[in-house]
């Protein structure tokens, strides 16, 4: 080509989407129970929760999974409330198994929120999920057990991680929760960006630019702490309200994103800049926290946002589990 030859701009058809740019330095995870959405966006992993499964279970496309879960539950011989609980567990694993046929990585399956303050029961539920997945030919390495980040949930994770059962600590809103999870050896944490923003907007009446978004700031702090002090626990930003929050956390270990926001990222070809980097984080001025149960409980209690949003999240997930059981009962 001559020196005077015109350089043609990249055509829109060959431009790289924001989603594909993001995937270069962050593990993208689909936050949905809708299997068709997962196929569309080709994420590495997927996360589910009772609210998402309730929504998906009511879609005609997934009635076969509901029918199978009911049939499997009945085989247990349980009746009444025990039967409903059995079917819910079978349904969660049925969705997880289908999702793992699509994603190359892992799926997160959530424990019953009503168990959030019972470490022994959480361990038992995790064992049951792992056994159900094993019966479906799924190894434990592809499963993340989601547990609410209460003190009891963290103790359950500590036990499970020692057994080689990986945990995703959810409903996490504070540095104290994050540090306790890392010290317990949790595989992964899911700080809830959007719900933190919701709380601050409700309290202040302010709108926040993405870079100053309180949820973004919280994840940035946790990420810096982990990298500075050498914690191997993975950080997965979750519960996003807008694409701006996602782009401000580009470079985070993982980001779990709803289908509507994945679609926005896929449509845009604007450049994505890496915002979080482990080498930069290691040089941050954050101080180490020393935690035991008493200090954890006090620091958690001192954080009104974290206390309120964790409690609210547990209530909502517990309520949606009840709604899912009622939906199943109507089918029975």
> Which pLDDT does position 10 carry in this prediction?
43
pLDDT class of 3 with cuts at 50, 70, 90: very low
Which positions ≥6 away from 137 have C-beta within 8 Å? none
> Which pLDDT does position 14 carry in this prediction?
65
CA of 223: how far to CAs of 183, 230, 255, 269, 325, in Å?
14, 11, 12, 27, 37
pLDDT tens-place string over residues 90-127? 999 999 999 999 999 999 999 999 999 999 999 999 99
Strands (E) in 177-233, as ranges, are 188-191
Distance (Å, whole) CA 189 – CA 256: 11
101 is catalytic: no
Whether residue 176 is predicted with pLDDT greater than 70 in this model: the reply is yes
Q: Which residue ranges form the domains of the chain, and what is each CATH number? A: 18-331 (3.20.20.70)
Residue in the structure block whose two tokens are 């049951």? 128
The average pLDDT across 208-234 equals 97
Whether residue 2 is predicted with pLDDT greater than 50 in this model: the reply is no
Whether residue 12 is predicted with pLDDT greater than 50 in this model: the reply is no
pLDDT tens-place string over residues 282-292? 999 999 999 99
Q: Which of 76-80, 155-159, 173-177 has the lowest mean pLDDT?
A: 76-80
- The residue annotated as part of the active site, out of 23, 146, 227, 275, is 146
Terminal alpha carbon distance of the chain:
72
Element (H, E) at 191: strand 188-191
Beta bridge partners of 169: 147, 189
pLDDT class of 1 with cuts at 50, 70, 90: very low
pLDDT class of 255 with cuts at 50, 70, 90: very high
Whether residue 8 is predicted with pLDDT greater than 80 in this model: the reply is no
For every residue of 142-181, DSSP letters joined together read GEEEEEE-SHHHHHHHHHHHHTT--EEEEEE-SHHHHHHH
For every residue of 89-103, DSSP letters joined together read HHHHHHHHHHHTTT-
Residue in the structure block whose two tokens are 């926001």? 261
Q: Which of 67-71, 165-169, 304-308 has the lowest mean pLDDT?
A: 67-71
The average pLDDT across 172-182 equals 98
Share the mean pLDDT of the chain.
93
Q: What percent of the chain has pLDDT over 70?
A: 96
Whether residue 45 is predicted with pLDDT greater than 50 in this model: the reply is yes
Its pTM stands at 0.92
**Cα torsion 126, 131, 132, 133: sign:** positive
């Amino acid at each position: 080509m001559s020196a005077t030859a015109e350089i043609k701009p990249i055509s829109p058809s060959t431009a790289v989407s924001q989603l594909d740019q993001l995937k270069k330095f962050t593990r993208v995870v689909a936050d949905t129970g809708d299997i068709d959405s997962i196929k569309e966006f080709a994420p590495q992993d997927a996360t589910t929760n009772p609210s998402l499964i309730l929504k998906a279970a009511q879609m005609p496309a997934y009635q076969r999974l509901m029918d199978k879960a009911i049939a499997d539950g009945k085989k247990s011989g349980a009746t009444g409330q025990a039967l409903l609980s059995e079917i819910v567990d079978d349904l969660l694993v049925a969705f997880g198994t289908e999702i793992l046929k699509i994603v190359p990585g892992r799926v997160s399956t959530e424990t019953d929120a009503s168990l959030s303050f019972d470490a022994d029961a959480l361990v038992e539920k995790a064992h049951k999920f792992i056994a159900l997945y094993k019966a479906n030919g799924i190894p434990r390495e592809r499963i993340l057990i989601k547990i609410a980040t209460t003190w009891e949930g963290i103790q359950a994770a500590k036990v499970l991680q020692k057994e080689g059962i990986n945990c995703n600590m959810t409903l996490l809103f504070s540095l104290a929760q994050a540090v306790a999870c890392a010290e317990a050896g949790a595989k992964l944490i899911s700080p809830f960006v959007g719900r933190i923003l919701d709380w601050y907007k409700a309290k202040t009446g302010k709108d926040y630019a993405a870079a100053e978004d309180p949820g973004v700031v919280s994840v940035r702090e946790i990420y810096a702490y982990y990298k500075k002090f050498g914690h191997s626990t993975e950080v997965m930003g979750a519960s996003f309200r807008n694409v701006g929050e996602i782009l401000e956390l580009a470079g985070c270990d993982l980001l779990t994103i709803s289908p509507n926001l994945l679609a926005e990222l896929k449509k845009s070809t604007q450049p994505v800049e890496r915002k979080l980097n482990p080498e930069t984080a290691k040089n941050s001025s954050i101080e180490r926290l020393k935690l035991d149960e008493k200090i954890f409980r006090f620091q958690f209690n001192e954080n009104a946002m974290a206390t309120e949003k964790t409690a609210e999240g547990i209530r909502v997930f517990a309520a949606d589990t009840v709604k899912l059981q009622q939906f199943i009962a109507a089918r029975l």
